Amino acid sequence: MKNYFTFPDGALRYDCRPCGACCKGLGIGLDMVAGDLDRIEAVAPGIAAFVRRRGPAWTAFNPRGGCWFLETDGLCKLERDHGRDHKPAVCRLFPFNRVFVAGDYRVIDFNSVVCPLEPAAGDGVRHAELLAELDGIRDPAIAATALPDGAAAIIALEAATTPEFDTSPGVDALFGQARTPGDATHEAATLVLRSLRFNELFGPRSWAPPATIHRLLPSMSRGWMHLLAVGEDLAQRPLGMQESTSVWSETVSLTYLLARWSEPAWIAVDSLSVPDDPEVLGIAKELRRNHRRRAPLGEVLGPAMRGRPLRDRVVLMRNLEPLLPHVRFGGKKRR
């Protein structure tokens, strides 16, 4: 099996002691096939009262204030008293516990939402260490989540591609001029970009097929970089990997629309459910009327955006997110 890591070898590091965020209220993932629960029950039988099962996955509840086994120094009592093998599978892997399979590819991704990872300049976690850890995990619910049909071809493209930052047609239209953050923020963003791309391709959003999203990702990434530069100015310091991830997640509907700004856009359905917002409803009607004309998205949005302050234009575009599953792009003008 081929392994695709969404981060360079040795590029990331973390320190559990000042953080412990992953041990607070997220639950304990258990490898039932390899006997995680048996080992923990042998030394802490009370855990049986908090076990739950959801589909094929077994977890144990832990409270928001901290896992039952979280010590005051931020380390794990199970590991300290009984060895690393007593530590649950997800805890042993975290934050590199997002493991998927697609055809003959295994994807090893990381959690930059919860874990404040940092650049390590080659001295961080090694791919070989993670593969050795994965060899001891037997539960597919933890280490072999299946990706949809066709994912292997896109993963192969990702593995052979260096992520790029293309132009974004809508950034200049909305913000006046595309900006780039400083070197430290750029480094953090570059380290997290492969993971963000992977999750955008195969995550819960379904605005477009993965192949289309793959084509748009360089432009979406350029819009994201502009927003990171703005955020850097607001914070008056470089932004880290966790913050860069949050900016992507919070603004992805905006960067998606900016990436498709110059494409013909329309809505083909006669009726759809939209938020109780007159402006969004008005845009939906314009997109419906554009079914024949096939004008670019920026031209359709132009009248609603013209002459308004930036904050109003940004809010309007972000409020269009419920429409995105219904909007079609590209194609020639209908006769």
pLDDT digits (tens, 9 = 90+) for 67-105: 999 998 888 999 999 998 899 988 989 999 999 999 999
Q: Which residues on neighbouring strands pair with residue 99, listed in sequence order?
A: 108
Alpha carbon 333 to chain centroid distance? 35
Which residue blocks in 101-240 are alpha helix, DSSP H?
Answer: 127-135, 140-143, 151-160, 169-175, 183-202, 210-235
Q: Which two tokens stand for residue 209?
A: 């097929």
Smallest CA-to-CA distance from 205 within 191, 217, 194 is with 217
CA distance 94 to 204: 21
For residue 214, which of 228, 227, 196 has the smallest C-alpha distance? 196
- Kindly state the tokens that stand for 2: 């081929």
- pLDDT for 214 equals 96
Are 105 and 156 a contacting pair, CB within 8 Å? yes
What's the confidence (pLDDT) of residue 283?
94
Q: Give pLDDT, residue 65.
A: 87
Q: From residue 196, how far is each of 86, 109, 241, 242, 333 by CA, in Å?
A: 32, 10, 11, 11, 34
In this predicted structure, what is the pLDDT of residue 261? 97
What pLDDT is stored for residue 174 in this prediction?
A: 95
- Which residue stretches of the chain have pLDDT < 50? 335
pTM here is: 0.91
3-state SS class at 58: strand
Confidence at residue 138, expressed as pLDDT on a 0 to 100 scale: 86
Predicted pLDDT at 139: 87
86 close to 47: Cβ distance less than 8 angstroms = no
- Helix segments in the chain, DSSP class H: 36-43, 77-82, 89-93, 127-135, 140-143, 151-160, 169-175, 183-202, 210-235, 241-259, 278-293, 297-305, 310-319
Question: Which residue shows structure tokens 């195969």?
Answer: 202
**Alpha-carbon dihedral of residues 115, 121, 124, 126, nearest 10 degrees?**
120
Q: What is the pLDDT of residue 332?
A: 63
> Buried b vs exposed e over 249-280: b needs ≥16 C-beta within 10 Å?
eebbbbbbbbbbbebbbbbeeeeeebeeeeeb
Predicted local distance difference test score (pLDDT) of residue 334 = 53
